[in-house]
Amino acid sequence: MNNESVNLWEVLAGVAVFMLGMRFLEDSLQTMAGRSFKLFLKRNTSGRFRAVAGGTIVTAVLQSSSVVNLLVLAFVGASLLTMQNALAVILGANLGTTISNWVIATVGFSYQISDFAYPLTGVAGILAALSTKGSRLHHWSMFLLGFSFIFLG
């Protein structure tokens, strides 16, 4: 095989892992979304300022507005977040990216979030395999597995 066909397979595998991660994330969110989680999301995204601030902070921590946007999409898909609040969080995510880049350029502090994805995938995969299907632990491990698959994809 030549290098071009190998790269095509790598791209297809990456897209498949990414899509599987989104599926795991959305399915586990729909199942786990209890009253307390819904209240937490509603409380922290109720006003536009809170939603923008939340998106900014989460993006600064994760250093990836794309991941925040994907999480927001999963929340909207699971009917946990309204479109209006989702747009405010996405705006905050974009601001968070800009602010993070300013801080990194000024201070020089940075880390690779993908370095955490491999251990997270391993731990979450083992927990998902060993836990009882339908249990709270199983749903949380599937959520973490989906989250890590997004980074790996």
Nearest-angstrom CA–CA distance, 53 and 62? 14
Task: Give a yes or no: residue 18 inside a domain.
Answer: yes
Question: Which domain, by its residues, includes 68?
Answer: 45-110
Question: Do 102 and 54 sit in the same domain of this protein?
Answer: yes
> What domain count does the chain have?
2
Say yes or no: 116 and 100 in one domain.
no
- Indicate whether 73 belongs to any domain: yes
For 69-80, write each residue's pLDDT tens digit. 888 888 888 888
Q: Is 118 found in the same domain as 66?
A: no
Query: Can you tell me whether residue 79 is helix, strand or coil?
Result: coil
Q: Is the pTM of this model over 0.75?
A: no
**HSE (CB half, 13 Å, CA atoms) of 130?**
6
Whether residues 12 and 68 fall in one domain: no
Domain co-membership, 87 together with 119: no
Q: Are residues 62 and 92 in the same domain?
A: yes
The answer to which of 44-48, 61-65, 84-88, 139-143 has the lowest mean pLDDT is 61-65
